[in-house]
Structures are given as structure tokens and as C-alpha cells.
Structure 1
Amino acid sequence: MKGPGLALLFCLCLGFSQVINAASVVFLNPGRANEPFWASYGRFMQSAADDLGMDLEIRYAERDIRRMLEQAREALQGEHRPDYLLFVNEQYAGPEILRLSRGSGVKLFTVNSQLTEDQQTLTGGTRERYPDWIGSMVPNDEEAGYLMARALLSQQARKTPDQPIDLLAFSGVKQTPAAQLREQGLMRALEEFPQARLRQLVYSEWRRDRAYEQALQLLQRYPEVSVVWSANDEMAFGVMAAATELGRTPGGDLLLSALNNSPEVLRNFLDGRISSLVSGHFTLGGWAMVLIHDYDAGVDFARQGGKDRRVPLFQSLDQRKARRLLHHLQQPGYDLDFRAFSRVGRSGAGTYDFTLDPLLD
């Protein structure tokens, strides 16, 4: 065979070889399939997988820890095992997932919530007692909580100088490391504003409906509250609905924070109803796919910035950044080529630089 026929056969064989050799990844998503944050997180991951030629399967636990562990057992001990498993230390399930992985031959990588120091006294760290647990990547959750609170308190202090500031806080699931870290950031900001008083902190489990019910009671119990800190956007929307029902004006006599990247929260921020918005960590799974792609190709990310990473993904948004982020979210593939972030074939290119900036340009 000569000429075009040979060239066509070569291309077909190359394409078939790439499909056969594509790294397979399962991500145990702890959220619900219709949950805006976790859905957007999965979409960003899938975009990365498509660009990098990887086979990605996302399994949603629907906020059910037992379901997540069953999904882990199936992935790690079932007949069709992936090359890699990504998991979150949701409700401190990490050690059990690691236990299930023994002898599986599957490489593991932790995203979003790393095992706590107490847990790692039992499990060891990555590449120690579980050598197939190859790494972790988490966002700067404490900084996110701090940035939201500082922006809110600064705005209110300018509005009412030398006056006390009463604040309510709505956190997520109490047993989630991300929620605890964001609370620590809130407390750090409160130390900088001695006139601020935290009247009550409640756990709304990341849910709009629960935050709405709690806010209906709390805003009447503490009528002087002028600032509401919320650890995600869904809870902020619940508070906004309750406040409006009670005759308060979000963005006017009541300043609210939010965290995430849904078009709904971006538009509310642009409209002035949300006064402080932090975003960025929905990209983390996509960046993790870049690390796994490179590791699978023989470029160990541990030598390019370390096996365990805390990356500064969270940023406070202003109006320009919010508009740019909203624009990118509406583009096919986010208008990004994830291959540009890989270090494969780029010796001397330096360490990875994962930030929200590519979606703000």
C-alpha cells in the first residue's frame, strides 16, 4: 500500500493506539448531579479530560457518604478498575477509601479536602504507607473565608464608622474540612475588626432551603444584623430570599458574601445584591487532571512543585473579573486549551501555575 492509503492507515492506527492508551480516571464526586457547584466542577474536569485525551467517569454520591464508599469499593475492587481514582475527604471518609484501595493497583489522588493531620498519623502521608496514593491538591479555603469576611466588614465599616457591626455566619457541613477552614478565615478577619460582633454561626449544609429557614428566624432574633457571611452561594441565596421576605434589602441595609461561580451568583454580584464574591476552586479538578495526565506520561508532578499542593485558586472578584468569568463560563470548553498547562515534552518549563487568571483574561 502506498501514498494516501498508507497515510490514512497510519492515522487510524495512531488514533486507535491513543484510545487504547488513554488513562482512565474515576472521580468520586461527593455532591449532587444537579448541585450547581459540583456540576460545574465536573464540567471543568471533563473539558480538561477531552483536551488531554483522557477517559473520565464522574460518579455522584448525592451527598450520601455510604453511597460514596460503595462507589469507591466498586471502583477499587470491582472487575473494571480505572487507572486513577480522584476522591475528596468528605465527612472524613479518606482513610476508608485508602483502606479499600489496598492491592487494587489503582493510583489515588485527593482533591479539595486533604486528610487531616490526625488522620495522617494513622494512614501516613501520600506515597508512604499507601504508595499508590500519589498526591493531593487543595485550594486556599481559609483564605477564601477571610477574603469574604474582610470585604464585607470593610464595606460596612465605611458605611457606619465607629459603630458596632453585627454579623451572622452560615457555614456548610460541620464535618467537612473545607467548611472548617473557611470558618477559620472568618475568625481571622473578625480579629481585625474589634467593632464586629458575631451573633451566631449556623450550619446550613451548603443548602439554599436550610439557610432560608434559619435566616427567617435569625434575622428576626438579631434585627441589628447588617452583615451576613455565607460559605457558599446556595446558602447566600437562601438568606437573600428570607431577608427580602422580611423587608430587608440585600446589597442595601444588609451586606452578604458568597462563594462559587454559578451564573446566578455572578449576576447577583454584578447587580449589587451580593457585596463580596470569592471564586476559583471549581477549577481544581481540571488542574488535577493535568497533573495526572503528566504523571501517566512519565512526568512526575512531585518534581515540579511537590506531591501535595495548596494552590491559591480563590480570588475576590471585582466587576471586571466577574464579567470575564461569566463570559468564559459560557464558551465551549471555557475557551481554554488544557494542553497548554501540561509539562509533557517541555523540559525546563518550570513548575505548574494553576490559578483562576486564565478565566479572567
Structure 2
Amino acid sequence: MRRFFHITLLLFAAVLPCGARAESVLFLNPGSTHESFWVSYSQFMQAAARDLGIDLQILYSQRQPELAVAQARVALQGANRPDYLMFVNEQYVAPPILRLAQDSGVKLFMVNAALTPDQQALVGERPDHIGSLVPNDDEGGYLMMKELIRLHAPRNAAGPIEVLAFSGLKVTPSAQLREQGMQRALAEHPQIRLRQLVYSGWTQERAYEQAKQLFARYPEVSLVWSANDEMAFGAMRAYAETGKVPGKDALFSAVNTSPAALQALLDGRLSALIGGHFTLGGWALVEVHDYHQGVELNRYGGRDRQIPLLQLIDKKQARQLLAMGASPHSRLNFRTLSAKGRPESYRYPFTLQTLMH
């Protein structure tokens, strides 16, 4: 592992710009190159960077927080620093990255998961922290559970309705918030019984192994809530191996708009799908570009904001997103979203609808 870190950091140092370039951004992607969500997230950012004229580099930390911090160290303490470092507070990597950034001259922007309230209290205000954008994870978890319950209602099940839940990592704010939303929905429906919630690390294989045991333990489960698409697919595979049919004998949900998830919704294997937050990094680059141009972000909705990106995806939208393929940004000019020169009443139109119209 140490040798892997060393080689990765040497390669990273080799591709850092050799001279100062205007508006250079390094994004530390917490996922892996095998995760469809984080790959599509990066692709959307790359499209935004091309439109905006930003020199963007992306490094994947392969779900290893130690590697993310090591990558940040090279970027923040090396000779050729980016103008901006964008990162996710995945597995709580923000505090060590903030310490490394002290007096580096690099501006910081957090996406998807910002500082927790406790971390914010410890860190305080930082002039190098220029902003953050996070999605409505709590609402996403809530909407997904409510949709499963709504769809189950016509079945008129006798007795309590049993649920299993598959979450990501305990130390990931987005997972915690999605769980929180799910629990809020369950509290509104006392006839729904959560049998067990497990942490599958966002991976299909882990969810599959857990689900094999859980479906044997709880054969009456009829609702399955998953905090991402990979875990949903693992659970669905295990359920199908019991001889039952996902989408018929039990209703499954997922987060993310990967092609596989969109197709599963159209096929009826997934009953509820939440998505839209793969766009967040691209929207964040619009704000970073505006900041670089002298725009005061606080005048246009706030420097640190939560935006309602997570929404229920219906079949019409699923077909539209599938038709867009790997280039959902093709009809979008990111420069037109800038707040530069706009009246203070302007608000960035960062929604899935902006992309799809």
C-alpha cells in the first residue's frame, strides 16, 4: 500500500503544471475510476471546465482517505500549486486538508459533503475557504422512502410492512443524511418496520453478501432502500437468487442516474430512483470561475449552500437521460450560467431541469 501511495504521488507531481496558469483547479475525487457515479461526475466537470476555460485536473483517491490527504499535501505544499483545490469531506478528510492548506495561497471549495457542525466550530472562519455546494441528501433519502411506501400502498398488505436498508459508510456525511431522511419518512408511517440497516461501503459486492444473509433472516421484507445504485444492484441480485422478482415481490430503490439504474427503472426492477447530484462539481466550477472573475458569491445566494439536486426520476426523465448518453452536457453552455454582471436577484439555476431543457 505504501508503495502504491508513493507511485501515485510521484505520478501526480509529474503532471502538475510547470508554471503558473490562470484559474487552475485540482479536484480530489474521493471515488474510484470503476464507480459510474464518480466517473460521470468528473465528465460533467470536464465539460464545464472546457466551456469556462478552466485548467482542471482530477485525481481519484480510490475511496482511501489517506491517499486523498497525501494528494492534497503534494498539491498544497509543492512548488506548483493550483489556484483552487476542490474536495469532498468524504470520511472526514477536510480538517487535515485545511491544516495543510494554511498559508499555501490555494483557495478551497468543498463539494458534496462540507464541514460538519462540530468541524466548523473547531476550524472557524477561513479566508481561503471560498465556498461549498452540497446536495439535499436528507431530502433525497426521505423522498426515496416515501416513494417506496406510496408505491406499496395499493398492495393492502396485512400486518407490518418490512424494510431493509443499505447505506454507504458511517463516516460519510452524505450517507448519514440520507439515512436521516429515510428515518424521518419511516417515523411518519408506524406500520412500516425497519428490520435492519447495514453499511455496504457503497459497493455492490458487499451489499450482495449482506443481502444474502438478510433475505434469509427476513423473508417477509417487501421494501428495500439503498443509498446508491451499486448497493441496490447487489441487493437485487441476492433477492433474485431466492427465486423472487425485484420490482414485483419486493420494491427496490436507489440513488444515482447511471445508465444501468435508469434502465432498471424503465424495466421495473427499480421502483424508485433518486438522482441529479452528478452535476454538482460542474456547477461548483461555475461558482469558482465567477469568484476568479471578482464576483461576490454572497450576493447571489450565499457562499455555502445546499441545492435541491436530488429528485425523484420518473420514466420520461430516465429515457431522456439515457438518450443523452455520456454527454448530458452537450446542449449546455456553462458560461451562460455565470452571475457576472447580473442583478443581485439572480440565482444560479443549478438543477437537473437546466440540464434537460
When normalised by structure 2's length, the TM-score is 0.92
Residue 81 of structure 2 corresponds to which residue in structure 1?
81
Q: For structure 2, which runs of at least 5 residues remain unmatched after alignment? A: 1-18
The question of whether the paired residues in 1 share the 8 Å contact of 2:85 and 2:107 is answered with yes
1:1-361 correspondence to structure 2 within 5 Å = 22-124=22-124, 128=125, 130-161=126-157, 163-331=159-327, 333-347=329-343, 350-361=346-357
One-letter amino acid matched to 1:61: S
Please state whether the residue corresponding to 1:193 is helix, strand or coil: coil
One-letter amino acid matched to 2:128: D
Q: How many angstroms apart in 1 are the aligned matches of 2:156 and 2:265? A: 22
Q: How many angstroms apart in 2 are the aligned matches of 1:345 and 1:300? A: 11
Q: 1:217 to 1:147 in 2, by over 3 A?
A: same
Structure 1 runs (4+) deviating above 3 angstroms are 19-22, 329-334, 345-349
Residue 13 of structure 1 corresponds to which residue in structure 2?
none
CA RMSD of aligned residues (A): 1.5
1:62-103 Cα distance to aligned partner (Å, 9 max, x none): 011111000000111011100000011111111111000011
The question of whether the paired residues in 1 share the 8 Å contact of 2:140 and 2:181 is answered with yes
Query: Highest Rg: 1 or 2?
Result: 1
Q: How many angstroms apart in 1 are the aligned matches of 2:334 and 2:323? A: 18
Aligned residues: 339
Please state whether the residue corresponding to 2:340 is helix, strand or coil: coil
Please state whether the residue corresponding to 1:335 is helix, strand or coil: coil
The question of whether the paired residues in 2 share the 8 Å contact of 1:22 and 1:53 is answered with no
Q: For structure 1, which runs of at least 5 residues remain unmatched after alignment? A: 1-18
Q: How many angstroms apart in 2 are the aligned matches of 1:20 and 1:114? A: 28
Q: 1:105 to 1:37 in 2, by over 3 A?
A: same
**Quick one: percent identity of the two aligned structures?**
58
The question of whether the paired residues in 1 share the 8 Å contact of 2:226 and 2:232 is answered with yes
Q: How far apart are residue 162 of structure 1 and its match?
A: 5.3
1:203-261 Cα distance to aligned partner (Å, 9 max, x none): 00000000000000000100000010000000000011111111110100010000001
Q: How far apart are residue 301 of structure 1 and its match?
A: 1.4
1:303-329 Cα distance to aligned partner (Å, 9 max, x none): 111111000001101111111122234
Please state whether the residue corresponding to 1:145 is helix, strand or coil: helix
Q: How far apart are residue 156 of structure 1 and its match?
A: 1.2
One-letter amino acid matched to 2:188: E
The question of whether the paired residues in 2 share the 8 Å contact of 1:146 and 1:186 is answered with yes
Q: How far apart are residue 34 of structure 1 and its match?
A: 1.8
Q: How many angstroms apart in 1 are the aligned matches of 2:325 and 2:340? A: 27
Q: How many angstroms apart in 2 are the aligned matches of 1:335 and 1:311? A: 22
Q: How far apart are residue 20 of structure 1 and its match?
A: 7.9
One-letter amino acid matched to 2:80: H
The question of whether the paired residues in 1 share the 8 Å contact of 2:112 and 2:280 is answered with yes
Q: How many angstroms apart in 1 are the aligned matches of 2:215 and 2:344? A: 56
Q: How many angstroms apart in 2 are the aligned matches of 1:324 and 1:359? A: 11
The question of whether the paired residues in 2 share the 8 Å contact of 1:325 and 1:359 is answered with no
